[in-house]
């Protein structure tokens, strides 16, 4: 898979680790910035990575800022993006299995290497299970299109 990776200054060191892990796992990594620890605005980098996914220039994206919250909020403003803030391998697995998340958001201030690697391994290897979750993802898409999710029927 092609993975877009981005961070602001607070997530820069973690982003460098993410790039290494993604490559070690056999995936192509596209760094959308930032290139150092100088202050930048996280919405700019979240936008770049999320647009890469929405425009099919990347399969998924991984974003880091101090908490991951700002990146997640921003990425979720882009049509077609389902960004999830994950703090452990359980939330990483469920974000893919149940929600078909295509952007992983993580905290640059709260993540050690061992946990980071486990989260990325799980997130990149977990497929969307579909089934009853497919209807829920379709409801998210309906909201994105300005429609009432209650209009999405079973099946």
Active site residues: 65, 98
Q: 């605005």: which residue's tokens?
A: 41
Residues 17-39 as b/e (b if ≥16 CB within 10 A, e otherwise) read bbbebbeeeeeebbbbbbeeeee
Q: 3-state SS of the chain: helix, strand, coil percent to 5?
A: 50, 15, 35
Distances (CA, A) of 65 to 42, 76, 94: 7, 15, 21
Query: Cβ(138)–Cβ(96) under 8 Å?
Result: no
C-alpha R_g of the chain:
15
């Amino acid at each position: 898979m092609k993975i877009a990776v981005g961070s602001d200054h607070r997530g820069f060191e973690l982003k460098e680790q993410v790039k290494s892990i993604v490559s070690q796992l056999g995936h192509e990594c596209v760094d959308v910035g930032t290139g150092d620890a100088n202050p930048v605005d996280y919405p700019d980098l979240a936008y770049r990575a999320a647009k890469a996914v929405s425009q099919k220039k990347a399969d998924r994206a991984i974003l880091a800022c101090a908490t991951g919250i700002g990146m997640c909020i921003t990425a979720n403003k882009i049509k077609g993006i389902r960004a999830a803030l994950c703090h452990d391998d359980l939330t990483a697995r469920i974000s893919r299995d149940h929600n078909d998340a295509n952007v992983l958001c993580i905290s640059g201030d709260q993540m050690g290497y061992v946990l980071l690697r486990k989260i990325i391994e799980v997130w990149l290897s977990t497929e969307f299970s579909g089934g009853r979750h497919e209807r829920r993802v379709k409801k998210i898409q309906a909201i994105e299109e300005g429609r009432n999710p209650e209009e999405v029927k079973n099946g």
